[in-house]
Chain A
Amino acid sequence: MSNKPVQLPVVNTETEGRRGFFKACGATLGLAAWATSLRPLVEWAGELSMDELLQKHFRELTSDQKQTVFKKLEEDTKENYGADVTISDHPALPGVQYAYALNLSICIGCRKCSEACHIENNHDRKTNNSYIRVFEMEKGGINFDQGDANYDHPVPQPGKFYMPVQCQQCENPPCVKACPIEATWQEPDGIVVVDYNWCIGCRYCEAACPYHARRFNWEAPTIPADEINPNQGYLSNRIRPQGVMEKCTFCLHRTREGKMPACLEACPTGARVFGNILDPNSEIRWVIENKRTFVLKEELGTKPHFYYFFDE
């Protein structure tokens, strides 16, 4: 009998024993895993430039870096929506604190403000989205359980009053505290903004907001090119990508140029009053000093910059 070990006919080379086989298998699996692990990066590369991947926090970008980002976004809008738009930065004006007041005695619930917001802020046409939700409320109290935001009948109805609710631009904003990555913050003029490039869409802020003022982009908005508002702000009404939060910004691309917000201009009754609360001669200041104003959910300590009042 020979002492030569019996070899299997298939794996019969000197260099590939059982150990070699497992080494080869391991190497193959490792390579496969490596390729799989790289796949997300390849997918990112399809829609992201390295500049975007490495973009710093918006508040730390220099003017030149901002221009690069804006230019890229303008090109993207042209490519995806076929519209020529201008995206720009609107820094907060010094010495300005914005406040809004709404006269519930005058509001008739026509939803013109909601419509104006829809158009001005490049909202999704499919969902008719808007930052403003108008509640039809029972007279005698402020009870949102009895309110109806989906009414579709002539207004105003007897025994009802109408209460538009949008972002209250809180001085103590719970949404900002909830954000894990500082994608939303309060500007020096009191407006709470979202950087749509920085937001990861975790929706914590949506859950934190007691006014249901934040919206999530479940899909990329669909807007015909000729309906796109071309005057866009990076932090306000530029077309939001899929998977990020959005909110009312008091139309900062308008108001930081001194203009009225779109919802105010659309209001046919003049129920809305907007202005700089630090200016003692402003209309908003007169309302706060002379009308019996109140804020929504005062007990939560959010200190809204959005006031409601009745005439009588």
Chain B
Amino acid sequence: MNSRKGFMASQAEFRFRLFVMQFTKKPMIKSLTLIASAGFLLVAGAGVWRSFSDSRPTVATPAHALLATSELPLDGTAAVSRDSSSKQGEFAVTIIPLTKSPSVASDMMDYHGNPVYVRCDTCHTTRPADTTTRESKQLDLFHQFIKIQHGSFACVSCHDARNGYSGLHLADGTALEYTESIQLCAQCHGPQFRDYQKGSHGGMTGYWDLKRGPRERNQCRHCHDPHSPKYPIVQPVAGPRDRFAPQSKKDSHE
């Protein structure tokens, strides 16, 4: 009996069969149990059987018939038409903006003890640009931490030396804010940019149905470091512990 504790009332008809079966396995009281069960069914079963014979679907109801009779949400939102040729009345897809332009730590602390960061053009407006620099180890100050693993570009391939490195430039020389870097990436990574535009690349949250709510999307730099764009290697979170799954193959070899 205890093994059934916690089961919900799922199917009374099945319960009654189980109920009868468990006693018929014991020959000693088999006949008496049958009599008792018959009595039990007469008393309690009649109403139940009637109820279930009414309620059991006799034939499989076609899905579309159920759809026609199923209720709509109380707020009536399901009644909104899915005319997707029109963008009228749709919520916006927002690309999460990049808020901060790049800056470097100056080794100084402010009044509250927080490190002071300085903008690139603090130094670069007065220093002439070296257009041949390709790696951070060629530089003396500030840039040592930058790991560069992205093709074989010079710094000025992307950074705009014309206005003190305070922005970027496209291949044709068009100046670009740091916050617009997505266009810069798109110059070379066309297929990824296309997939991104079509919604099959890059994380997002919100609504699949823009008629019901907005959506927010990442942009390239949220996941890819421009200097070393390969997605970082991470430790996975723990998976489900399957009851019957074999242990990790790696473990079994050790």
Contacts and interface: CB of A to CB of B under 8 A. Distances in A.
Nearest to B192: A311
Contacts of A153: 235, 250
10 contacts: A33-B35, A37-B33, A52-B8, A91-B73, A92-B67, A196-B8, A269-B202, A279-B82, A282-B84, A283-B199
Given A37-B23, A41-B44, A268-B203, A118 B213 contact: no
Nearest to A91: B70
B136 interface: no
Interface in B13-53: 14-15, 19, 23, 29, 32-33, 35-37, 39-40, 44, 48, 51
Interface of B: 1, 4-12, 14-15, 19, 23, 29, 32-33, 35-37, 39-40, 44, 48, 51, 55-57, 61, 63-64, 66-67, 70-73, 77-78, 82, 84-85, 191, 195-196, 198-209, 211-213, 215, 218, 223, 231, 233-243, 245-250
A302 B218 CA distance: 35
A277 to B, nearest CB: 11
A157 to B, nearest CB: 9
A259 B205 CA distance: 8
B158 to A, nearest CB: 23
B150 to A, nearest CB: 18
Nearest to A220: B6
A154 B72 contact: no
Contacts of B48: 53-54
Contacts of A63: 71
A34 B204 contact: no
A110 B61 contact: no
Q: Is the interface of B mostly helix, strand, loop or mixed?
A: loop
A183 B10 contact: yes
Contacts of A267: 203
B14 A181 contact: yes
Contact-size category for A: 35 or more
B195 A311 contact: yes
B243 A265 contact: no
Contact of A200 (B10, B40, B82): B10
B36 A53 contact: no
A134 B204 CA distance: 20
A3 interface: no
A259 B208 contact: yes
Interface string A41-57: 10110011000111111
A114 B199 CA distance: 21
Given A36-B23, A291-B200, 12 more contacts: A48-B9, A91-B71, A110-B234, A114-B239, A148-B249, A149-B245, A152-B236, A242-B6, A258-B212, A260-B205, A265-B206, A270-B200
A56 B206 CA distance: 36
A148 B212 contact: no
Contacts of A57: 55-57
Interface in A131-155: 133-134, 148-155
Which residue among B204, B207, B243 has the maximum number of chain A CB atoms within 10 Å of its CB?
Answer: B204
A227 interface: no
Given A188-B63, A243-B4, A52 B9 contact: yes
A106 B199 CA distance: 13
Contacts of B71: 63, 89, 91
A187 B55 contact: no
A82 to B, nearest CB: 17
Contact of A109 (B198, B200, B218, B236): B236
Interface stretch (A4-12, A16-24, A94-102, A228-236): A94-102
Contacts of A257: 77, 212
A96 B211 CA distance: 13
Contact of A60 (B4, B57, B208, B240): B57
A93 B78 contact: yes
Contacts of B15: 40, 44
A247 interface: no
Contacts of A15: none
Contact of B237 (A110, A183, A270): A110
Given A54-B48, A57-B55, A258 B200 contact: no
Contact of A94 (B9, B56, B57, B67): B67
Contact of A260 (B29, B191, B195, B208): B208
Contacts of B200: 101, 103, 270, 273, 283, 286-287, 291
A40 B238 CA distance: 41
A95 B36 contact: no
A296 B145 CA distance: 45
Contacts of B231: 108, 269
Given A59-B66, A103-B200, A188-B67, A128 B241 contact: yes
Contacts of A118: 240
